Amino acid sequence: MTIKHLLSINDLNGSEISSIITRAISSKPMPYNNLLENETVGIWFEKPSLRTRLSFEIGVKQLGGTTIYLDKDNIGVGSREPIRDVANVISRYIYAFIARTFAHSTLTEFAKYSTIPIINALSDEEHPCQTLADLVTIQEKFGTLKNITIAYIGDGNNVARSLACGAYQIGMPFISSSPEEYKLTIDNEKINQSIIHEINPKKAMSAADVIYTDAWTSMGQEAESEIRKKAFQKYQISVEDLNSAKDNAILMHPLPAHHGEEISQDLLYHKKSVVFDQAENRLHAQRAAMEYLFK
Ligand code: CP
Ligand code: NVA
């Protein structure tokens, strides 16, 4: 049987993404599939996490399995032992490996040498599990993904990249609004060209059904924080922006949010914000993704 990894959202095509979304929504009520009975899933994070770790720990449990958290300092991937050796060892013990990394190449190396599925729980390049939850949330809020325009405001980062690729796979218009030096680029010319760049965030938001933003300074970029705050000043989303957006527009954010940076204070609690439904959907989307990857 071929192993299915989820390193990039582009590992899934549009119809696979759609069936994961449908399954995530329909499988919200218990009881859940018991496909991980007697199985253990490893979780190894190089960066902090609240949502991703919690939703995977719970999701695996709901599918009848157990998780084991591998502490990064003890495992010493790449320092105590090379990735290849670690990948070979974990393949003998666990059913799947969920990893959050700095370098995306750490994930591709794991996938190269493992005989078990590897899931990207965020890397510097991509956050595919976030995108699945985002699309579940959009589908629930609008009842469709067809002709729903996403305006991503801010840094052209990992979250933006996966979301733009997911939108492309589904055929949703995607507007990206960033300062020139932080513009979103995709390593796939077709997808790259599908992105509508709009330097003016107000214009981008006025055309949007989904107003989406994320941290200006991602994990690992802390040394650039002050420079970034200056560069992104005009890209903060305010109450006025949401009030003047389309009536049924929604605000999305993967969280953690930086109040007073990419969003104004308390914006998560605005009536157009769906961020906590979005956070909950991490669980349902990942459970559905695991059912797909592990079957
Ligand atoms: N959105 C997200 O991935 O959150 P965590 O970093 O808390 O997992
Ligand atoms: N872009 C952010 C997302 C956090 C969930 C980061 O990488 O830190």
Digit-coded pLDDT (tens) for 240-261 = 999 999 999 999 999 999 999 9
Mean pLDDT of 4-10: 98
1 pLDDT more than 90: no
- Model pLDDT, residue 53: 98
The rounded Å distance from CA 224 to ligand 1 centre is 20
- Model pLDDT, residue 122: 99
Nearest-angstrom CA–CA distance, 265 and 260: 5
Atom from ligand 2 closest to the CA of residue 130? 5
Atom from ligand 1 closest to the CA of residue 55? 8
Nearest-angstrom CA–CA distance, 137 and 18: 13
How many beta carbons lie within 10 A of that of residue 69, not counting itself? 13
Atom from ligand 1 closest to the CA of residue 50? 7
55 ligand 1 Cβ < 6 A = no
Banded pLDDT at 134 (limits 50, 70, 90): very high
Q: Which ligand is nearest to the CA of 219?
A: 2
Q: Which of 50, 124, 158, 162 to mutate to test the pocket of ligand 1 (most atoms within 8 A of CB)?
A: 50
List of E strands, the chain: 40-45, 66-70, 96-100, 118-120, 150-153, 174-177, 196-197, 210-213, 250-252
List of E strands, 145-209: 150-153, 174-177, 196-197
7 ligand 2 Cβ < 6 A = no
pTM of the prediction? 0.98
Q: Which ligand is nearest to the CA of 156?
A: 2
Q: What percent of the chain is predicted at pLDDT more than 90? A: 99
159 ligand 2 Cβ < 6 A = yes
158 ligand 2 Cβ < 6 A = yes
254 ligand 2 Cβ < 6 A = yes
Banded pLDDT at 104 (limits 50, 70, 90): very high
The rounded Å distance from CA 26 to ligand 1 centre is 24
Q: Give, as one character, the DSSP assignment of residue 148.
A: P
254 ligand 1 Cβ < 6 A = yes
* Strand partners of residue 197: 176
Average pLDDT score, the chain: 98
